[in-house]
Amino acid sequence: MSSAPPAGAPLSRADTTVSPAVPAQPPGHIERGTPAFWRAVVALFASGFSTFSLLYFVQPLMPLFAHDFGLSAAASSLALSLSTALLAISMLAASAVSERLGRRTLMFASLLGSATLTTAMTLFPQWPALLTLRALMGITLSGLPAVAMAYVGEEMEPRAAGLAMGLYIGGSAIGGMSGRLLAGVIADGHGWRVAALVIGLIGFAGAVLFWRTLPASRHFKPRALDLAGALGSFRSHLRNPAMLRLFAQGFLLMGGFVAVYNYIGFRLLAPPFSLSHAVVGMVSVVYLAGIVSSAWMGDLAARLGHGRVMAAGVLLQLAGALLTLSDNLWLLVLGMAVLTFGFFGAHSICSSWVARAARQGRAQASSLYLFGYYCGSSLIGLGGGYALDLAGWNGFIGLVTVPLALAAANAILLARRAAAV
């Protein structure tokens, strides 16, 4: 495969393919199954766990925010939407900063700062102050997701990268599950402030484990902050139709997924279910499906084709969303599990595809993918709240099916283009 063109150069046909293949890498990359590989996996798992615990523990608390502060469902979702919006924007700068400070240092500082801001929520219980802390946390968290993807792309040999990214996303899945579960159970008996304190302490523990286990970068070379170079990398990726399709896929996948999790608590607290906050938090156990699918589907894609397996994951996500229309609790929970299984499998494939397909400016490519990913979380997540307030759960799911149907069509297109290469 030819090397990437300089910024502004016309793209050849090879530059617009969607094949996830990468050129041969020099010796010294972390190989699958080695002690260094497993140390990296533990560290990446811990970072994914902590990041998503800190980011998403507020989801089951949204009905409490709405009650305590007199908010609508859409307004209560700002506790998450502001974080993901600032996270999306800040990651564009974080990728450039990591080129100077190093991947490992920035990721550790990101976890530490985010844990500090979460524990501070217990000291500022007013809604404007809480939103300010959550917005700042979006900025501090930005130093981890895009940089983690860049670390995997730089340090892992190709056969190890897909599994490592899948396990990182598996860590994010179990972190999201644990954060939601613990927050719901603790808040039911002790209030959301105590829940925030516990999640913050878990974030501190994850930061320490990450720092002690992640192998040092061997292929990273520090560079002075180069704004022109970073903008050139961004411009190059944004001119590549293949990369644009992958970035759009992240927007659609995440938007449809997070919207359902944002508001499922409102549905389960209301008739005909009328569950408690603790039981609603326990529904997050279905995140275990994401832990399985992220690693399994990521590995399966290497054998059956990235596009085809991702398309299957998106269709599962759509089917799961539709199952939540049922008034049968078991069918609804099954729908959440299917939604989660499909999303994490598709996201694992799409994110590793971006990291491997970027032949230059991997950090910038990863941050652009995650920019779209978290913009989907903010915009579709917030819009879903208005749909719920105006049209109930049926109208809300009607809105959610739009991005998921578009994601399914895009995945099928990606599969066909990859098969044609």
∠ at Cα 208 (352, 174), nearest 5°? 45
Phi-psi region of 361 (alpha: psi -120 to 50; beta: other; left: phi over 0): left
Residue 30 phi, psi dihedral angles, 5° rounding: -70, 125
Q: 30 - beta bridge partners?
A: 156
Q: Is the dihedral of CA 53, 56, 59, 65 positive or negative?
A: positive
The DSSP code for 4 is: P
Q: How far apart are the first and last CA of the chain?
A: 12
Mean pLDDT of all residues belonging to the chain: 84
pLDDT tens, position by position, 111-159: 999 999 999 999 887 899 999 999 999 999 988 876 887 788 788 887 7
Q: Write out the two tokens for 329.
A: 């609790």
Q: How far apart are CA 104 and CA 202, in angstroms?
A: 19
**When comparing pLDDT for 225 and 386, which is higher?**
386
Q: How confident is the model at residue 419 (pLDDT cuts 50, 70, 90)?
A: low
Q: How far apart are CA 230 and CA 235, in angstroms?
A: 9
Phi-psi region of 3 (alpha: psi -120 to 50; beta: other; left: phi over 0): beta
The DSSP code for 287 is: G
Q: How confident is the model at residue 20 (pLDDT cuts 50, 70, 90)?
A: very low
SS3 for 30? strand
Q: How confident is the model at residue 225 (pLDDT cuts 50, 70, 90)?
A: low
Q: Write out the two tokens for 321.
A: 């969303």
Q: How confident is the model at residue 7 (pLDDT cuts 50, 70, 90)?
A: very low
Amino acid at 171: G
Residue 274 phi, psi dihedral angles, 5° rounding: 50, 50
Q: How far apart are CA 306 and CA 309, in angstroms?
A: 6
Q: 156 - beta bridge partners?
A: 30
SS3 for 239? coil
Virtual CA dihedral for 58, 252, 162, 86, nearest 10 degrees?
Answer: -50
Q: Write out the two tokens for 320.
A: 């799961």
Q: Which residue has the tokens 């297109």?
A: 413
Q: How far apart are CA 90 and CA 202, in angstroms?
A: 24
SS3 for 156? strand
Q: Which of 252, 281, 249 is nearest to 265 (CA)?
A: 281
Q: Is the dihedral of CA 51, 94, 385, 118 positive or negative?
A: positive
For residues 262 and 56, the answer to whether their CB atoms sit within 8 Å is no
- Weakest-pLDDT range from 96-100, 177-181, 195-199, 371-375: 96-100
| pLDDT of 11 over the 70 cut | no
Amino acid at 267: R
Give the burial class of 250: count Cβ atoms within 10 A of its Cβ; 0-12 exposed, 13-18 middle, 19 or more buried: buried
Q: How confident is the model at residue 282 (pLDDT cuts 50, 70, 90)?
A: confident
For residues 20 and 418, the answer to whether their CB atoms sit within 8 Å is yes
Please give the pLDDT value at position 26: 47
- Locate all alpha helices (DSSP H) within 4-102, ordered by sequence: 35-56, 62-69, 73-76, 78-101
Query: Cβ of 412: how many Cβ atoms within 10 Å?
Result: 16
For residues 78 and 131, the answer to whether their CB atoms sit within 8 Å is yes
Please give the pLDDT value at position 9: 40
Q: For a pLDDT cut of 70, what percent of the chain falls above it?
A: 89
Q: What is the pTM of this model?
A: 0.77
SS3 for 24? coil
- Locate all alpha helices (DSSP H) within 270-361, ordered by sequence: 277-282, 288-304, 306-323, 329-357
Q: How far is CA 113 from CA 84, 126, 156, 180, in A?
A: 16, 21, 27, 20
For residues 254 and 145, the answer to whether their CB atoms sit within 8 Å is no
| pLDDT of 314 over the 50 cut | yes
